[in-house]
Amino acid sequence: MSRWWLGLPPAQATITCGDHTHRLRWQAGALHAIDHDDLEAESTLAALAGQRCACVEVVDAWGRHQDDPRVLVLASRGPGDTIATHGDWASQLAALPRAPMAAAASVSPPRARPRQLMRFSARRRASTPPVPRWPGHNRGAPGPITTQTQSETELVALLGLGGGLQDRLVATVAAAWAERYDDPDAALNGTLATLHASMQGRLSAALRSWLGRADATVELDLIDARQAPALTETAGVLRAELPFGWLPAVWSRGLAVVFGRFCLAAGTEDGRTWTLTTVGPDLGTPAPVRVELPSA
Amino acid sequence: MTEDPLPCPPVSDFDAELYLRLIGERMLTDRSGENHGAGRPTIAEAAAALIAVEAIDAPSAESVLDDYSFATMLRNESNLRRPGMLRAVPPPGSSETKLLKPRRVVPCARTIDQAQATMQVRYVSLSKESTSVAVTWHPGSSGPWGGGPPRAVLTDDRGTSEAAPFHGGGSNQGMRGRLTTTGPLAPDTAWIELDGTRLELTEEPSRFAATLERLPAQDPAHQYLWQRIAEPSKLNDSRIEPAIEALVAAGALWAADPLLDEVRAVLEALQRGPGPGVVPPSGTIPIPEPWQSLLARDGVQDGPTGSIVLGAVPPAFDGFSVAILDLESDENRFRVDVEVAPAVGRMPFDWGMGPRQLTWWAKDDRDNHYLGQRGHWSFNDDFGHGVIDFHPALDPRATQLELLPTAHTTRAVISFSLPWTRR
């Protein structure tokens, strides 16, 4: 697994956990509940007492959605595209049926997890009691929670986390799928349209904002990561040739536009010094821009 | 319909899912409001067309719609406070159609004066499952309008009584619907008492013939477009272009297909409504039948006044089962009381594909055609019940009428004589 999180600063949000306000911190590709010394032990004790811990639920939900392509469909396309959900939904996760998988104090960077396993674990949850209503919980009369409702409830909660955690979740999911592009499988093939469209939506928003052309037509050709990226315009149509890795490497790092130039690729050897391949508004020959981050 | 003027291109390896998702992406940042009303948004219109030409299967299209309806909901704080309003919710229950059964339907034209209203009874329908009394209820001008007739009690000649709540719609000028019991009364009862007022059940319904007719084979894209503009829902009158664009993008239709001019001309005429110039002058775009005769009489107010009770339940077709209960005609239109199983219909905020709807055509013995729009409608788990409003007004010279509920491959033909005197 590449260190895809290099250059992404930590992000932090607070949620209501029981009677307390607790911090969730994303750093180096993983989400941590930093106000719990031993999250797993505390979670076990709470469960024995019949209580739920919102921090556990959020960290656990993060793990279940770290390669969920729906995150890319639902989350913001950039500045000006705001999600209306908020952190209160995260607190409500503690009222959901407990997922059968063990809670983790932190979540490893994304790795391929068979889709069947996700379905299976969600189906087992389906026999648990009903949960409080939420915006998506309208699929029929009150009764056992459905797989889809469970998943969507978690997504609403995760996307409502403040402090930049929504952006980090998008980066996490995008990085997971960018890695799979190098080793295609059936899961990737079934997700290509989702990945393509969700990247094109973000690319279009970034290009329109950069060029000040709100109605610009944008087309995206997803290319192999070894090919040279390009941005051209023909007959009024902006055509970008980019690998899917552009999304985690450039867009998620906030590097789409740098010094008034559009960034086609970003590379680093050490995580501090970055070489960005950029084009100007005239869509001329790409030129490198070098950026050095301050030491941590 | 016209002959196919051009052979349509085969559907290519066009990626329908990606096409729909890119529409979804545009919707998310669209600030025009075009896709935020109660009608179906562009993505759903395109999806329905692509399903029709088998460029994508319905579950895959539903999955895309579900993603983007959810994404849209998450962008609107007021939506988040309105659970149950905006998601494409598949109807619960079995996908199997529960067939409607023939039942005893008795004409019963009675007016019952109530304390603060007048109730006009039209017919009584009796089956082994329930009993319905079809009524038009006029609240009095003096009292407050309470929103509809109160629940009634129906009693049969065996002494069995059942409560019968009202299901229907209308305004403070009048409510039209049915008082329906949840349990049955005796189907062969000689009379029904409605809150103590006895209704003798002695009349017989009009004679009719009910058959099925297979539709001629037609290009799928052409058929979809004609069916789309004939749909009985008023929610999406003007949204044919997303379907056309999708069909062209999929390679299922030529962009220069002359049929598109015909479809657009018909749609424009329908939207313009009654009045001069409904039918384009000769030399312009030809409007094919059945639209030509339909538009020719649009706005004419010479319909006969009268009613016919039928109780027709033709055999099921294309997964639909229908019952035609009665027809009322006035100078502007005619209305047909129907039941349709399964209980499908496009609802406000419904993005889903669902089963296709029936289109409701009618044809008389003077080669006039009529098109039905859904009026007030109510559902239960098994079927929908309500009114189909047909326009234009019935030709007063017509002596025979065929009602033609039309599905994908087959239509039912319910034929009967019109009893009123020819003018």
Q: Tell me the per-residue pLDDT of B388-399, one tens digit each, with 9 for 90 and over.
A: 999 999 999 999
What band does A97 get if pLDDT is binned at 50, 70 and 90? low
Asked if pLDDT for residue A1 goes beyond 70, the answer is no
pLDDT over 80 (residue A29): yes
Are B21 and A137 in contact (CB < 8 Å)? no
- In terms of Cβ atoms closer than 10 Å to its own Cβ (0-12, 13-18, 19+), residue A228 is exposed
User: How far is it, in rounded angstroms, from Cα B168 to Cα B183?
Assistant: 19
Which amino acid, one-letter code, is at B369?
A: H
Distance of CA A122 to the CA centre of its chain: 20
Report the residue of A134, A154, A161, A196 to disrupt the B interface, i.e. the one with the largest count of B CBs within 10 Å.
A196
Q: What is the pLDDT of residue B82?
A: 43
pLDDT for position A277 = 98
Segment B72-110, tens digit of pLDDT: 888 876 655 544 333 434 444 445 678 999 999 999 999
Select the more confidently predicted residue: B256 or A93.
Answer: B256
Asked if residue B124 lies in contact with residue B131, where contact means CB atoms within 8 angstroms, the answer is yes
How sure is the predictor about B12, in pLDDT bands with cuts at 50, 70 and 90? Answer: low
From chain B, the residues in CB contact with A73 under 8 A are: 21, 24, 67-68, 70-71
CA dist., res. A146 & res. A125, Å (int): 8
pLDDT in tens, B119-167: 999 999 999 999 999 999 888 766 555 667 778 999 999 999 999 999 8
Q: How many angstroms separate the CA atoms of B307 and B418, rounded?
A: 9
Instruction: Please name the residue that has the structure tokens 């998702």.
Output: B21
Burial class of residue A229 (count of CB atoms within 10 Å of its CB; 0-12, 13-18, 19+): buried
Is the minimum CB–CB distance between A196 and chain B shorter than 8 Å?
yes
B308 three-class SS: strand
Say how far apart CA B70 and CA B76 lie, in whole Å. 10
Least confident window among A75-79, B205-209, B261-265, B352-356:
B352-356
Mean pLDDT of chain A: 82
For residue B303, name the pLDDT band (cuts at 50, 70, 90): very high
Q: Do A197 and B28 touch (CB under 8 A)?
A: no
Least-confidence region, from A90-104, A153-167, B57-71, B80-94: B80-94
Output the average pLDDT for chain B: 84
For B387-412, give one letter per residue: b (16+ CB within 10 A) or e: bbbbbbbbbbebeebbbbbbbbebbb
Which chain B residues contact residue A201 at CB under 8 A?
A: 22, 25, 28-29
- pLDDT tier for residue A85 given thresholds of 50, 70 and 90: confident
CA gap B83, B70 in Å, rounded: 12
| Angle, in degrees to the nearest 10, between helices A165-181 and A147-159 | 120
User: How many CB atoms lie under 10 A from the CB of residue B40?
Assistant: 26
Looking at residue B186, its pLDDT comes to 97
Q: How far apart are CA B382 and CA A273, in angstroms?
A: 66
For residues B322-347, one letter each, b for 16 or more C-beta atoms within 10 angstroms of the residue's C-beta and e for the rest, the string is: bbbbbbbbeebbbbbbbbbbbbbbbe
User: Inter-chain contact A196–B21, Cβ cutoff 8 Å?
Assistant: yes
**Separation of alpha carbons B348 and A175, rounded Å:** 39
- Least confident stretch, A15-24, B37-46, B240-249, B385-394: B37-46
Is some CB atom of chain B closer than 8 A to the CB atom of A65?
no
Please enumerate in sequence order all residues whose Cβ is within 8 A of that of A157, keeping only pairs 6 or more positions apart, or say none. A58, A61, A85, A89, A90, A92, A93
Cβ–Cβ below 8 Å for A201 and B17: no
Q: Which two tokens stand for residue B346?
A: 């496009």
Check pLDDT > 60 for residue A191: yes
A163 touches chain B (CB under 8 A): no
ipTM over 0.90: no
CA distance B40 to B34: 10
- pLDDT given for residue B98 in this prediction: 85
Closest listed residue to residue B19, CA positions, set B252, B220, B246: B246
Q: What is the pLDDT of residue A296?
A: 66
| Contact call for residues B64 and B43 (beta carbons, < 8 A) | yes
Res A132 pLDDT > 60:
no
Q: Which residues of B touch A (CB under 8 A)?
A: 15, 17-18, 21-22, 24-25, 28-29, 67-68, 70-71, 73-77, 79-80, 82-84, 87, 89-90, 92
Kindly tell me if the per-residue pLDDT of B294 is higher than 80.
Answer: yes
| Per-residue model confidence (pLDDT) at position B35 | 57
What are the pLDDT digits (tens) for B25-63?
999 977 665 555 656 789 999 999 999 999 999 899 999
